Every structure is written in structure tokens, then in C-alpha cells.
Amino acid sequence: MSKKVTSIDMTAMCDVAFLLLTFFILTATAKQPEPLPVDTPASTVQTKLPESDLATITIGKGKVFFGVTGKEVRKQALMAMGQKYGVQFTEEEAERFSLIESFGVPVQNLKQIINMTSSERNEEGLQPGIPKDSLNNQLADWIMNSRQATIDIAQKELNIAIKGDARSEYPEIKKIMDILQAQNINSFNLVTGLRGKDF
Amino acid sequence: MAELNTGDGGGGKKGAKKVRSKKLNSKVDLTAMVDLAFLLITFFMLTTSLSKPQSMDLGLPDKDENPEKNKDVKVDENRTMTLLLGDNNKLKYYIGMIDNPIVKPTDIAYGKEGIRKEILKRKKTVVEYTGNKDKGLIVIIKPSKKSNYKNLVDVLDEMAIADVPTYAIVDISPEETKLIDGAAPESTTP
């Protein structure tokens, strides 16, 4: 008798638990490995980043990486860049490129990166960053072409987020801001971590 | 063995008894399974909510190359507070203009006890001084070349916490660079 009382029927609880588990697994987005890991500074502001039509500029260790959301936008931006810099990309390469979250190579070397596997690509120190000096400002062209592609595809203005490393020096950030301002982008997001108000 | 064999058939008094015994066996202890399920739920819940990146909106003023349009707006020097960000997490502030400051450039710490207190105090006094709620404190942020990105975000965060009505990021002048990077702190001001 006493044995019967201590054991509870767990079936219903198990059902609920697994239902929730399934829900969370399905809604969770797999975290993509980043080719340039950065340590973002923390802030108390809790605005969320927009999820679509977003270009992320990652700055760290003196390198700049660029990534934009949306497969179609990526493809179109790639084609536009290829045209401008005289590099021909095949349909298959564009398809592969549309799966890359973020990259940091000049357009001329992009083919090699596209043909690598994702783990090879994310090896540290492999990608040298996108050129951004005034003579060879590919970053500005990427931003421009991605904006154009977003307008063509989604009829929306592209949002820009800057994801800077906490230790990177201000002039690096300033340079990116200047590039953005040269295109009349005066409002953008700074990606930050979270912290409480008592620090 | 005999029990197993008669399990599927089931007939007669003996068979009925066997079925009951089988029912008892089929009850598995689900405690461990539930434990595992909840552990995984907790994991997924925490990772999904944490992985969404936070962001901070930043608006910069229009950069207009046309000097005609880009006239300097005169503001009361009593309303401005300038923050100079230096290397090694150094921070200085002064009130008014650099040549003749109302409050001399002073070292101050980041965080709750340092800069935040000062900003909140100034915010109050400026409104009292102007007597107009719309004419509040103006904070000018001047990051030097050696300051890092974390400093900038920290200061912008202070602006958000203290709810400063107007703030701007401005390029640092050579005079101020000297002030924050080298030389004795009090030497430039009489």
C-alpha cells in the first residue's frame, strides 16, 4: 500500500516536458560559427536587433568582416560586386555564397573561400578582412550593393549593425562610421552584450 | 518462460491473471526521463533567449559638405559638458569651453559612482539654470585616438541611463588630445 502512494504517474508530465522540449528545439536557431569571434562590450540598453534586412559589420583585430541576411540579397550583392571588380561567379558559387553568414576577404579571393568547407573557412587568421582604404574601398561597395539588393528584393532600406570588439581602438570604429556616413547612413545599431545597471 | 508465452494469447481464468501481471510490468519509471527532458528544456530556453543580440541605436548628425548650411550653432557654455576619453580607461570632463572652462578638466571614473553621479547632478543644475525643460544638458563626447570601443559604448550607455536629452560624438581637438594623453592635468588651465 505504502509503495503505491510514493510512485506518481509520470506519463503526463513526461508528455508535457517533451512537448516543450520539441518546441524549443524547433524554434532555436542554430548558432553559426563566426570566422571572426569578437567580444562585444556590454550595455544596459535592451533594444533587440532587427532580424531581417540587416547587414552586420564585424570589427576586431584590425580586420573587418561583412555579412548580410537573406539568401537572395547575398546572391544579388555578390553578382553586383563581381561585375564591378571583373570576377565571374557561377550560379553554383552564388548558391554556396548565399549560405555564408559573414566573410572577410577581398572579392578577388572570394572564389577560394566559397569553395572551402565551412570549417576550413572559419579557421582563425585565414581571412584577412575586407579592404576598406580609400583606394580600394570594397567594404563601401559591399554596403552599397547590399542596400541596392535589399531595396530591389524587399523594398526596404537595409539596417546596419556594427559589431565591434571591446578592445578595438576608436579610430577603427570611426573609419567604419565615416564609410557609412559617406553613404548617408546616419543611423545604425551597435551590437552589445547585456549587463545590469549597477556596474 | 511460460508466462511470456501465454501473454499474447490470453484465454480462460489463468490467461486473465497473466494479463494483469503484464500490465504491472509495462509501467516504466519515467522519473529519469522527465529529469532529462526538463534539463534539456532548461538548456534550450536559456540558450535561445541569451543568443539574441542586444543592440544600441546610434544616430549621427548629417554630414553636410556644404559649409553654408553647416553653420555652427551657438549654445550656452553653461549647458555643455565635454567628456574626453583617453587610453587605459581614462576619462576627463569639463564644463564650458576649453580655453576658459567653467569647471576645469577633472579626472573621473567610469561607472555608477563616477561619471553617472556627475551627469545626473549636471542635468539637474542645467535645467535649474536655464529654467526651461527643453533646454537641458548637452554632452559632447570626444574619444581620443587611443580610446577603445568599450569606452565609447560605456559612455553612450551612461547617456541612455541618465537619459541625457542631447549628446554628440565629436572629433577631438589637438589641444584636448594633449590634455588627455600627456602633460600635467592642471598645466593648461590658469
Q: Do A187 and B62 touch (CB under 8 A)?
A: no
Higher pLDDT, B49 or B93: B93
Amino acid, single-letter form, for residue B188: T
Report, as an integer, the average pLDDT of A32-42: 78
* A193 in B contact zone (CB under 8 Å): yes
Instruction: Give A 9-38 residues with CB within 8 A of chain B.
Output: 10-11, 13-14, 17-18, 20-21, 24-25, 27-29, 31
Higher pLDDT, B57 or B71: B57
Q: Do B48 and A20 touch (CB under 8 A)?
A: no
C-alpha distances in Å from residue A19, one per residue of A14, A16, B49, B160:
8, 5, 18, 40
Report, as an integer, the average pLDDT of B105-124: 83
- For an interface test with B, the pick among A8, A45, A59, A199 (most B C-beta atoms closer than 10 Å) comes out as A45
pLDDT tens digit string along B124-181?
Answer: 888 888 777 777 888 888 888 888 888 888 888 888 888 888 888 888 888 888 877 7
User: Cα(B105)–Cα(B95) distance, rounded to whole angstroms?
Assistant: 8
User: Cα(A18)–Cα(A21) distance, rounded to whole angstroms?
Assistant: 5
Q: Quick one: pLDDT at residue B39?
A: 92
* B29 in A contact zone (CB under 8 Å): yes
In chain A, which residue's Cα lies nearest the Cα of B144?
A: A170
Question: Please, are residues A58 and A101 in contact by the beta-carbon 8 Å criterion?
Answer: no
Out of A31, A190, A198, the one facing B153 most closely (by C-beta) is: A190
Question: Looking at residue A107, what DSSP letter applies?
Answer: G
* A3 in B contact zone (CB under 8 Å): no
Q: Do B60 and A182 touch (CB under 8 A)?
A: no
Q: Do B44 and A28 touch (CB under 8 A)?
A: yes
pLDDT tens digit string along B29-62?
Answer: 888 888 998 998 888 887 776 666 777 888 877 7
Asked if residue A29 has pLDDT above 80, the reply is no
Asked if residue B189 has pLDDT above 70, the reply is no
DSSP string, chain B: -HHHHHHHH--HHHHHHHHHHHHHHH----HHHHHHHHHHHHHHHHHHHHHSPEEEEEE-------TTT-PPPP--TTTEEEEEE-STT-EEEEEE-SSSEEEEEEE--SSIIIIIHHHHHHHHHHHHHH--TTS--EEEEEE-TT-BHHHHHHHHHHHHHHT-SEEEE-PPPHHHHHHHHSS-TTTT--
**Which ipTM value was assigned to this complex?**
0.76
Q: Quick one: pLDDT at residue B117?
A: 85
Q: Do B54 and A165 touch (CB under 8 A)?
A: no
Question: Please, are residues A57 and A129 in contact by the beta-carbon 8 Å criterion?
Answer: no
Asked if residue A162 has pLDDT above 50, the reply is yes
Question: Looking at residue A69, what DSSP letter applies?
Answer: S
pTM, two decimal places: 0.74
